[in-house]
């Protein structure tokens, strides 16, 4: 048997509220299937399962707030190795003591075949239109408490507007922060304060000549229909991923007093949300994707982040974070590492600057790239080599 | 298509990209990116949406001609007229 637990969707998450089960006892699941919807400070998250088997029983009812690591369901694994695996994404939660977690056991009475009638415990997936979901994220309305008035109980935009109005008129606890934006702000504050308190940061920056990369990009985009055009941010992200292959100690987690390198390079992209706050979901296997794939996945990630429809693996799998504040006119970023990661790369805006080339002063578009890194894991020498590698990759954009 | 019809489409598309914005407050000659906090991904999505709505190819080299509401309407009206 494997335990499906509330995953950690970042260092700033302590608990999540189960909104709905998307699978029922008796349902077969395989790696990547969405098993539940969970409300967190980052919005409504679709939680994936990372094991293959059949749902034996569920232990939590929709509406319950569940601490990270608490067992939510038992999955009967397909007999392969007989080894018990935890069904979690992201960090290994198998070490967390089960007895400390407040779990309510719910008898299901179903072990082999799906029930004929859908139990109230299993409202299947939350019925909500994409527009209403997006509005809820913007207004910070928790979906668990919204009653749907649309067909088959579907939550509509009007339901969200009504719920938001009720929250405005009668805030439950006016003295403390209650909106999702406020909660997200608190969660970010907790994670960043922890980072600054625990991680001995060091900072490096370098100026990179972007003329070759931008020229290549302009020529490339001229050949492409608008839907297939690339943003220069994608070149930066790919260069980061390739440089991490050369300096792998920056692609790691700090866990229980030691650095644990990650085999996968999953670059987390800091995405500001229009209603305030930010998330940093992962572009999985960034180093192995073509620029076209990266651009497609980047667009999808931004769209889903802003619509409040991220998946658990988006939020739990980042191995490093990239933040690009060039659009806001920033020249240099001095970033704070998102624990348990050990590095963050920042980019400013592309600016025209005098540049010395073969004894001549010329004007060049340049960008300032910065690295914030954990001194427990790497030294400035290795950090410098990382920035140099990134620069080198950006000088050959057609090879990215 | 009239300028007003184009303006209406542009505003509708902007409303989808920046749903929290009060579109009635847009200054027609000020940069849309600053007014609506539009980043490069948003602007690309804006171009894609205009392409889908108006069936016009907008080269990347022309993006700067669409940075304000008035310029946008002017550019799209001229492009529509030459590509009926």
What is the pLDDT, as a whole number, of residue A210?
97
Token pair belonging to A364: 């060049």
Average pLDDT (A341-352) is 97
What is the pLDDT, as a whole number, of residue A144?
59
Average pLDDT (A245-267) is 95
Greater confidence (A104 vs A80) lies with: A80
The DSSP-derived string for A95-145 is TS-GGGS---------SSS--SS--TT---S--B-HHHHHHHHHHT--GGG
What is the pLDDT, as a whole number, of residue A169?
52
A327–B47 C-beta distance less than 8 A:
no
Average pLDDT (A250-268) is 95
DSSP 8-state secondary structure symbol assigned to residue A340: T
A231 closest CB neighbour out of B40, B57, B61: B40
- All CATH 3.30.559.10 domain ranges of chain A, comma separated, are 199-399
Q: Where are the domains of chain B?
A: 3-82
CB proximity A225 to B under 8 Å: yes
Instruction: Work out how many CB contacts closer than 8 A connect A with B.
Output: 43
Average pLDDT (A174-181) is 58
What is the pLDDT, as a whole number, of residue A44?
82
Q: Distance from A246 to chain B by nearest Cα, in Å? A: 29
User: Cα–Cα–Cα angle for A216, B42, A136, nearest 5°?
Assistant: 150
Is the pLDDT assigned to residue A108 strictly greater than 70?
Answer: no
Specify the DSSP element, H or E, that contains A260.
strand A258-261
What is the pLDDT, as a whole number, of residue A132?
76
What is the pLDDT, as a whole number, of residue A81?
44
Q: Residue holding tokens 């400070």?
A: A41
Average pLDDT (A340-364) is 94
Q: Is B9 helix (H, G, I), strand (E, B) or coil?
A: helix
Is the pLDDT assigned to residue A90 strictly greater than 90?
Answer: no
What is the pLDDT, as a whole number, of residue B84?
65
* Cα dist from A238 to A118, A245, A316, B82, whole Å: 46, 11, 20, 39
Q: For residue A299, which residues of chain B lie inside 8 Å, CB to CB?
A: 41, 44-45
Is the pLDDT assigned to residue A93 strictly greater than 60?
Answer: no
What is the pLDDT, as a whole number, of residue A97?
30
What is the pLDDT, as a whole number, of residue A123?
38
Give the C-alpha separation, A217 to A15, whole Å: 43
pLDDT-based confidence at A358, cuts 50/70/90?
confident
Dihedral Cα A18, A20, A25, A31, nearest 10 deg: -80
Q: Which of A130, A230, A278, A327 to mutate to test the interface with B (most CBs of B within 10 A)?
A: A327
Q: Taking Cα atoms as reference points, which of B65, B43, B57, B63 lies closest to residue A225?
A: B57
What is the pLDDT, as a whole number, of residue A118?
31
A226–B51 C-beta distance less than 8 A:
yes
pLDDT-based confidence at A98, cuts 50/70/90?
very low
Average pLDDT (B12-23) is 90
- Mean pLDDT is lowest, of A74-78, A123-127, A157-161, A261-265, for A123-127
What is the pLDDT, as a whole number, of residue B19?
87
Greater confidence (A313 vs A146) lies with: A313
Summarize pLDDT for B19-43 with one digit per residue, the tens.
888 888 999 999 999 999 899 999 9
B57–A226 C-beta distance less than 8 A:
yes
- Mean pLDDT is lowest, of A147-156, A299-308, B2-11, for A147-156
Average pLDDT (A211-237) is 96
CB A22 within 8 A of CB A38: no
Compute the mean pLDDT over every residue in chain B, rounded to the nearest whole number.
92
Q: Distance from A368 to chain B by nearest Cα, in Å? A: 18
B44–A229 C-beta distance less than 8 A:
yes
* Cα dist from A51 to A2, A4, A61, A158, whole Å: 8, 9, 21, 38
What is the pLDDT, as a whole number, of residue A145?
61
**Which of the four CATH numbers 1.10.1200.10, 3.40.50.40, 3.40.718.10, 3.40.1410.10 does domain B3-82 have?**
1.10.1200.10
* CATH, range A199-399: 3.30.559.10
- All CATH 2.40.50.100 domain ranges of chain A, comma separated, are 2-100
What is the pLDDT, as a whole number, of residue A149?
79
User: Domain A2-100 falls in which CATH fold?
Assistant: OB fold (Dihydrolipoamide Acetyltransferase, E2P) (2.40.50)
Phi, psi of A236 (to 5 degrees): -60, -45
Greater confidence (A154 vs A381) lies with: A381
What is the pLDDT, as a whole number, of residue A376?
97
Q: Is A182 helix (H, G, I), strand (E, B) or coil?
A: helix
Compute the mean pLDDT over every residue in chain A, rounded to the nearest whole number.
82
Q: Taking Cα atoms as reference points, which of A259, A233, A261 lies closest to residue A345?
A: A233
B58–A138 C-beta distance less than 8 A:
no
Residue A277: how many other CB atoms lie within 10 Å: 20
What is the pLDDT, as a whole number, of residue A68?
87
Q: For residue A274, which residues of chain B lie inside 8 Å, CB to CB?
A: 18-20, 37
What is the pLDDT, as a whole number, of residue A156?
77
Q: For residue A298, which residues of chain B lie inside 8 Å, CB to CB?
A: 41
Is the pLDDT assigned to residue A114 strictly greater than 60?
Answer: no
Summarize pLDDT for A58-84 with one digit per residue, the tens.
999 898 888 888 899 999 887 654 443
CB A68 within 8 A of CB A6: yes
pLDDT-based confidence at B53, cuts 50/70/90?
very high
CB A65 within 8 A of CB A111: no
Q: State the ipTM, two decimals.
A: 0.90
Average pLDDT (A190-205) is 94
Is the pLDDT assigned to residue A106 strictly greater than 60?
Answer: no
Dihedral Cα A281, A283, A286, A288, nearest 10 deg: 150
* Cα dist from A103 to A57, A61, A71, B49, whole Å: 13, 10, 7, 48
Residue A143: how many other CB atoms lie within 10 Å: 24
Which residues face A357 on adjacent strands?
A360
Token pair belonging to A63: 């509406």
Half-sphere exposure of B79 (CA within 13 A, CB side): 18
């Amino acid at each position: 048997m494997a335990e499906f637990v509330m995953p950690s969707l970042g260092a700033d998450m302590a608990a999540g509220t189960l909104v709905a089960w998307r699978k029922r006892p008796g349902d077969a699941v395989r790696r990547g299937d969405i098993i539940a919807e969970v409300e967190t400070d980052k919005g409504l998250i679709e939680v994936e399962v990372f094991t293959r088997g059949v749902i034996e029983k569920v232990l939590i009812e929709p509406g319950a707030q569940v601490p990270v690591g608490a067992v939510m369901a038992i999955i009967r694994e397909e007999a392969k190795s007989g080894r018990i695996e935890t069904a979690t994404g992201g960090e290994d939660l198998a070490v967390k003591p089960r007895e400390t977690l407040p779990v309510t056991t719910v008898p299901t009475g179903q072990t082999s075949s799906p029930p004929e009638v859908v139990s109230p415990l299993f409202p299947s997936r939350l019925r909500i239109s994409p527009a209403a979901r997006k509005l809820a994220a913007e207004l910070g309305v928790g979906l668990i408490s919204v009653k749907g008035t649309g067909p088959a109980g579907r939550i509509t935009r009007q339901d969200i507007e009504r719920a938001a109005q009720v929250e405005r008129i009668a805030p439950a606890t006016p003295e403390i922060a209650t909106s999702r934006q406020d909660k997200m702000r608190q969660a970010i504050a907790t994670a960043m304060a922890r980072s600054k308190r625990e991680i001995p940061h060091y900072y490096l920056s370098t100026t990179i000549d972007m003329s070759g990369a931008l020229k290549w990009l302009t020529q490339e985009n001229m050949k492409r229909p608008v839907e297939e055009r690339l943003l220069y941010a994608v070149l930066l992200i790919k260069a980061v991923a390739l440089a991490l292959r050369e300096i792998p100690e920056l692609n790691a987690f700090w866990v229980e007093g030691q650095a644990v390198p990650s085999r996968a390079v999953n670059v987390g992209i800091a995405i500001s949300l229009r209603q305030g706050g930010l998330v940093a979901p992962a572009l999985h296997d960034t180093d192995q994707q073509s620029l076209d794939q990266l651009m497609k996945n980047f667009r999808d990630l931004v769209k889903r982040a802003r619509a409040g429809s991220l998946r658990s693996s988006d939020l739990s799998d980042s191995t490093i974070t990239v933040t690009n504040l060039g659009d806001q006119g920033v020249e240099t970023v001095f970033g704070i590492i998102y624990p348990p990661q050990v590095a963050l790369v920042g980019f400013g805006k592309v600016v025209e600057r005098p540049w010395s080339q073969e004894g001549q002063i010329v004007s060049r578009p340049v960008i300032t790239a910065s690295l914030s890194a954990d001194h427990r894991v790497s030294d400035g020498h290795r950090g410098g080599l990382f920035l140099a590698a990134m620069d080198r990759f950006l000088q050959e954009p057609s090879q990215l | 298509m009239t300028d007003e019809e184009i303006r209406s489409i542009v505003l509708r598309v902007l409303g989808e990209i920046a749903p929290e914005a009060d579109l009635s407050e847009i200054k027609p000659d000020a940069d849309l990116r600053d007014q609506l906090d539009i980043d490069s991904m948003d602007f690309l999505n804006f171009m894609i949406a205009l392409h889908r709505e108006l069936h016009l190819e907008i080269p990347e080299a022309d993006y700067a001609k669409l940075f304000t509401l008035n310029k946008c309407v002017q550019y799209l009206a001229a492009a529509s007229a030459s590509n009926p």
